[in-house]
Amino acid sequence: MKKIYLACFSTGWDSGDVMGYALTEDGHCIARHISRNKLFSQHDMGFTSNLNSDTYEKYCGPEYELEWVDNPDSHDGWWEASRLNKKLWADAKDVP
């Protein structure tokens, strides 16, 4: 079963909005969304709702697990997925 990590980060805007990301364990960012705050982000990213389930199922198949990451800075799974994401981007730059 594939795991999808969900997290949100401050946009830095005065409004307090956050940017939510869905990052697969193999490093692909398959969804993102600007939300009003963390609770809205959990809903908008599909952690507390069925939103994005079509996107997640399209990438992972019907069997996947969502994990909300409150502290990405100290979450080993998020860090590994982020490392793989950076590698995917670096490899893509090498393609002519």
Structure confidence at residue 94 (pLDDT): 66
Q: What per-residue confidence (pLDDT) applies to 14?
A: 85
The predicted pLDDT at position 93 comes to 72
What is the DSSP annotation of the chain? -EEEEEEEEE---TT--EEEEEEETTS-EEEEEEESSHHHHHHHTTSSSSTTHHHHHHHH-S-EEEEE-S-GGG-HHHHHHHHHHHHHHHHHHT--
pLDDT of residue 91: 77
pTM to 2 decimals?
A: 0.91
Q: What is the mean pLDDT of each run of 10 residues along the chain (96 residues)?
A: 96 91 97 96 97 96 96 95 91 67
Domain ranges of the chain: 2-93
pLDDT value at position 96? 57
CB 14 within 8 A of CB 6: no
3-state secondary structure of 27: coil
